[in-house]
Amino acid sequence: MTLIECIPNFSEGRRLDVVDKLAAAAASVDGVTVLDQQSDGTHNRCVITFVGDEVAIAEAAFRSIRAASELIDLNSHQGAHPRFGAADVVPFVPLRAEEMPLCVGVARGLAKRVAAELGVPAFLYEDAALVPEHRDLAVIRKGGFEELRDVIATDPARRPDEGAARVHPTAGVVAIGARSPLIAFNVNLDSDDLELAQRIAREIRERDGGMPCVKAIGLLLEDGAVQVSMNLTDYRTTSMADVVAAVGERAAKSGVTIRESEVIGLLPEDALVQIAKEALVATGFRREQVLEARVLDTLLP
């Protein structure tokens, strides 16, 4: 049996009863295991992680998207994080790189079903993209629900890959994709200077000439502090330690320190092994030297 990971992001992080219902929708499918759920009130967003084979994972994702379309109304949604859908992004991630084509097939099949049965238009992104312009999630989500609602019917570049060229009146649209593992990682600064966080984000993100495989935005938190919110699309190229150092160095020039950092959702074990190698200058350290990893490899080959 081939296991696939799915990590949908939903536009709800304050009504925890709703978040529980979204997770329960996924867990209601036989053969699917929910591994993690996290909510953030400032972002007003939650991330749920579950695994299953290609048939079960597609059904679980569909049920969670359906629940989101029934429980979340974007017209009354407010949060710091960009969004254009109740079920905003639904990526499928292979646990082995060679299984990416399987994830692409699952994503494209789910997009057709969501559009047909729920009336929620779907964009396909990353490896599942049907057109090159849709590979980058930031491009298709530009302007959020409100902007897309106004232009989706008239701008050919903003039309969905599946479904009618109009947003669902309450659930918006959904981005469904297949991608390699990434790390959602935030660094919170001991400051209320939003411009500083936004400037640091611009300086470190790849699209503006910064660090490779880094996507970043600056956000204001509910407690008045600011955050550099990031996706590390290849932790082997740029690690969490790399971006902490880069953010800290730039913040220090303005007399600001890092308050804390946070990992959103789950991350690959190898990412932690990489950081241990860097921190300990243990160049020969291997994953096989991690006790739990060795036990699992031995008992569950």
C-alpha dist (Å) from residue 23 to 63, 103, 185, 191, 271? 10, 21, 22, 34, 26
Query: Which candidate in 43, 81, 134, 168 is catalytic?
Result: 81
Contacts of residue 62, Cβ cutoff 8 Å, sequence gap at least 6 = 110, 113, 114, 117
Q: Is 77 a catalytic residue?
A: no
As a whole number of angstroms, the distance between CA 1 and CA 54 comes to: 9
- The H-assigned helical ranges of the chain are 16-27, 54-71, 100-113, 137-140, 144-151, 194-204, 240-252, 269-280, 291-299
Q: What is the dihedral of CA 167, 57, 44, 80, to 10 degrees?
A: -70
Contact 103, 94 (CB under 8 A): yes
C-alpha dist (Å) from residue 15 to 18, 86, 209, 257, 269? 5, 13, 38, 32, 31
As a whole number of angstroms, the distance between CA 278 and CA 276 comes to: 5
Give the neighbor-by-neighbor strand order of the sheet with 183-189. Answer: 214-220, 226-232, 183-189, 258-264
The single residue listed with the structure tokens 């971006």 is: 243
The single residue listed with the structure tokens 């993100």 is: 205
The single residue listed with the structure tokens 């649209």 is: 173
User: Which residues are known catalytic residues?
Assistant: 81
